[in-house]
């Protein structure tokens, strides 16, 4: 969100020389949709006083230690819920990277 989470949980933690997980290459809209679905399904976030809307992911300027190529910036719009949102974004970052338009066009089954 404001910064890419560097703290990984359990089996997700890895050293800088280890090969990262194989991430699915998807569009930014698909990443936003995945984050939004998890926000909408989270019991605590459903009770928030205002509806939490996931923003579009932004590509990172350089490689990250986690191997993820995007982040989301919500800039503290949801006080009291940052940790839950960060956890959701971190899970989706572990699953998917933003693919460029050419990569998406060449993807099998498209």
Averaging pLDDT over each range in 33-37, 49-53, 58-62, which range is the top one? 33-37
Give the model's pLDDT for residue 47.
Answer: 87
Q: Please name which of 62, 80, 82 lies closest in space to residue 70, comparing C-alpha atoms.
A: 62
CB 39 within 8 A of CB 110: no
* pLDDT, mean of residues 79-90: 91
Q: How many helices (H) and strands (E) does the chain have?
A: 4, 4
Averaging pLDDT over each range in 41-45, 80-84, 96-100, 103-107, which range is the top one? 41-45
* Residue with more model confidence, 36 or 65: 36
Residue 54: DSSP 8-state: P
């Amino acid at each position: 969100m404001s910064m890419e989470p560097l703290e990984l949980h359990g089996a997700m933690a890895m050293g800088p020389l280890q090969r990262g997980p194989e991430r699915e290459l998807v569009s930014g809209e698909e990443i936003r949709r995945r984050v939004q679905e998890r926000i909408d399904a989270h019991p605590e976030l459903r009770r928030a006083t205002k509806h939490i809307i996931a923003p579009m992911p932004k590509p990172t300027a350089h490689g990250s230690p986690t191997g993820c190529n995007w982040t989301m910036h919500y800039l503290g719009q949801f006080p009291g819920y940052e940790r839950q949102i960060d956890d959701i974004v971190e899970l989706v970052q572990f699953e998917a990277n933003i693919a460029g338009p050419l990569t998406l066009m060449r993807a099998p089954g498209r």
